[in-house]
Amino acid sequence: MRYAQITGWGKYAPPLLMTNDDMAKIVDTSDEWIYSRSGIRQRHYSHVSTGEMAWLSAERALAAAGVDAEEIDLVILGSTTPEEICPNTASYIKNQLGATKAAAFDLNSACTSWFYALNSATDMIKSGSINKALVIGAERISLAMDWNKRESCFLFGDGAGAVVIEASGQESGLLAGKMSCVPNSRECLHLPNWGMSPAHLTDDIFISLNFEGQEIFKSAVKGMSDAITDVLEKQGLTPDDIDLFVPHQANIRIIQTLAKRLDFPMEKVVVAIDEYANTSAASIPLALCDALEEGRVKPGMTILTATFGAGLTCGAGIIKWGERVEPIGESDKSIPEFDGTVFDLMKDSFTHYGVDATHLLSKGKL
């Protein structure tokens, strides 16, 4: 039987940080208020495009796998913030990598995009249609923050994470996956006019996230719990059989509630939301890369993952890790750093939403 083993992994976290204290300089909030409600301490903001972040994370994943880009059959980018709708951003990444024979497409199911992409590429490898794939999650959600919405503007960050998956005879990789969508719940989390609607074509673009926290919490916990039950049953497992849990990093309260429902100890849960905030499609691969760097992933581990996103899309999977937890190599590729502060980077966004960053700078508040 064919499996799709994870053989390489890589990430890119932009160097510019917006801490909670920084956020409090432009929004009526505080570090204590944000952290107590979300578990977030800071978020990374990118000065480069989603495609560039995704490219570098992919370069690092290829180096870790010891795989040349020309060997890749497929590049999938999971993202809500592609550079363009047509052509897809995955084709840009493929070309930058030199993955000459690879097919390429984008997949958007919001925060679940990377997991949905992993599930799709795994099924292709299992069926024999491809042998090697790059699965990437990348987001530049800082571009979509409405600074007048205190309840949601602090939640999101930018970043990218990628894995290489290869055909293998060893039982490994994503062994069971469940993708779902909670009925009649898509309006509680969405970006109006983020697409090709007539309003988007005729009016000034004014991105403002609609975010109904209580409804999202309830639907997310139920949707992920149901998906987890499904994949555990498929594999004949119980929560006691899980060595590590890598959930979507949306809110620490959601993660804790989910772990409690599973009677799963928090010391077995990978939590990265304090470092990155919610990076949407990038959150699980970023957290997985961190777990590998910290030595938390061991050969042969059984890993559970679960995710939810706007739609409300949900999913869960059981991943069997292979024998290697160390990268074969490291990429020497890089992205030039931004010449300025995070406030310089976000100045146009602040102005667009009526935040006078120039005034704050002149008063010495930034």
Provide mean pLDDT across the span 49-66: 98
Q: What percent of the chain has pLDDT over 90?
A: 73
Q: What confidence category does residue 196 fall into, taking pLDDT thresholds of 50, 70 and 90?
A: low
Supply the pTM of this predicted model. 0.91
Q: Which of 20, 88, 119, 278 is catalytic?
A: 278
Angle at the Cα of 244 from the Cα atoms of 238 and 249, rounded to 5 degrees: 110
Three-state DSSP at 103 gives strand
Provide mean pLDDT across the span 322-342: 97
Q: Which of 20, 44, 111, 153 is catalytic?
A: 111
Residue 63 and residue 71 in contact, taking contact as beta carbons nearer than 8 Å: no
Residue 111 known to be catalytic: yes
Provide mean pLDDT across the span 116-139: 98
Q: Which of 47, 153, 248, 289 is catalytic?
A: 248
The C-alpha atoms of residue 284 and residue 282 are separated, in whole angstroms, by 6
- Eight-state DSSP code of residue 30: -
Angle at the Cα of 356 from the Cα atoms of 355 and 357, rounded to 5 degrees: 100
**Residue 285 in this model has a pLDDT that exceeds 90:** yes
The C-alpha atoms of residue 252 and residue 40 are separated, in whole angstroms, by 8
The C-alpha atoms of residue 321 and residue 144 are separated, in whole angstroms, by 35
Structural domains of the chain, ranges and CATH numbers in brackets: 3-362 (3.40.47.10)
Residue 188 known to be catalytic: no
Quickly list DSSP for 121-185.
HHHHHHHTS-SEEEEEEEEEGGGG--TT-TTTTTSB-EEEEEEEEEEESSS-EEEEEEEEE-TT-
Residue 44 known to be catalytic: no
Quickly list DSSP for 145-159.
--TT-TTTTTSB-EE
**E strands in the chain:** 3-12, 16-19, 42-45, 74-78, 103-107, 132-140, 158-168, 173-181, 189-190, 210-211, 244-247, 302-309, 313-320
Report the amino acid identity of residue 330.
E
- Token digits for 360? 């704050």
**Cα four-point dihedral sign 291, 303, 115, 314:** negative
The pLDDT of residue 363: 42
